[in-house]
Amino acid sequence: MISRRSFLAAAAAASAADSVSLFDGESTRGWRCAGGGEFPSHCWTIEEGCLKALVAKPTFADIRTVEEFGDFDFEFEWKISPNGNSGVKYLLYREDVWKPGGAALPHARGRGFEYQIAHGLSARKDTEAAGALYEFLAPVGGTAKVGEFNQGRIVRRGARIEHWLNGVRVVEAQLDSPEMQARMRERKVPVELPGRSAIVLQNHASEAWFRRLRLKV
């Protein structure tokens, strides 16, 4: 008979085997600029084992995984500068690239659902608070730590999504429900969800740090 300890160890090993690291802590391998092109080193860097968004002017760009995923359970750690704004995007329906007048480099944005990352004045309303489904649902419970790393988690199973903040589920939504479909139409978001999508880290002209990015498929 297998012992409880052996069973738990085997389960943990199986779980680890099912997950992949999206960032090795040392290189930009597996990441590129949203909308295409090379990794945007003018507005992102690697710092102490983190992917770090820089305050770059006049243009800044999101980064996205080269690989795309269907259903997933994505865990990550994040930290944001005072009054900063960032996010993790998924279920992308568009990627935009445009160049402001006179700029040598373009802006780049992934458009999709967003796990909001914010601090202080950058969260002007509940649906822009840390952990929110940006502009759709405010987080319920959970508290973001200021000036420290926080644990984020996004779970996608078909049309069902969950956001977690520091071990607390703060958002759960059924994207094919009549209520959510109506909201999506209001915001001009396609109601047909992609089967697979990249994961995007947002640069919103704030310093933001991301580390320990692990995804189970």
Domains of the chain: 20-216 (2.60.120.560)
Confidence check: pLDDT of 12 > 80:
no
Rounded-to-integer distance, Cα 113 and Cα 200, Å: 10
Is the predicted pLDDT of residue 11 greater than 70, yes or no? no
The answer, yes or no, to whether residue 93 has pLDDT greater than 90, is yes
pLDDT average, residue stretch 154-164: 98
- Note the pLDDT of residue 99: 86
Longest dimension (CA), the chain: 71
187-215: pLDDT as tens digits: 999 999 999 999 999 999 899 999 999 99
Distance, in Å, from the CA atom of 65 to the CA atom of 197, rounded to the nearest integer, reads: 9
Asked if the model's pLDDT at residue 6 lies above 60, the reply is no
Closest C-alpha to 170, from 215, 137, 202, 213? 137
Count how many Cα atoms sit within 13 Å of the Cα of residue 196 in the half-sphere of its side chain.
Answer: 6
pLDDT digits (tens, 9 = 90+) for 15-72: 455 899 999 999 999 999 999 999 999 999 999 999 999 997 788 899 999 999 999 9
For residues 134 and 137, what is the distance between their CA atoms, to the nearest angstrom?
Answer: 7
Cα 66-56-188 angle, rounded to 5 deg = 60
**Per-residue pLDDT tens over the stretch 121-156:** 566 789 999 999 999 999 999 999 988 999 999 999
Going from the C-alpha of 95 to that of each of 61, 108, 127, the distances in angstroms are: 11, 7, 22
pLDDT of residue 13: 44
- Other CB atoms within 10 A of residue 7 CB: 11
Give the DSSP H or E segment for 117.
strand 107-118
Tally helices (H) and strands (E) across the chain: 2, 13
Three-class SS state of 19: strand
**Among 106, 113, 75, which residue's Cα sits nearest to residue 91?**
113
Question: pTM to 2 decimals?
Answer: 0.89
- Tell me the three state secondary structure of residue 155: strand
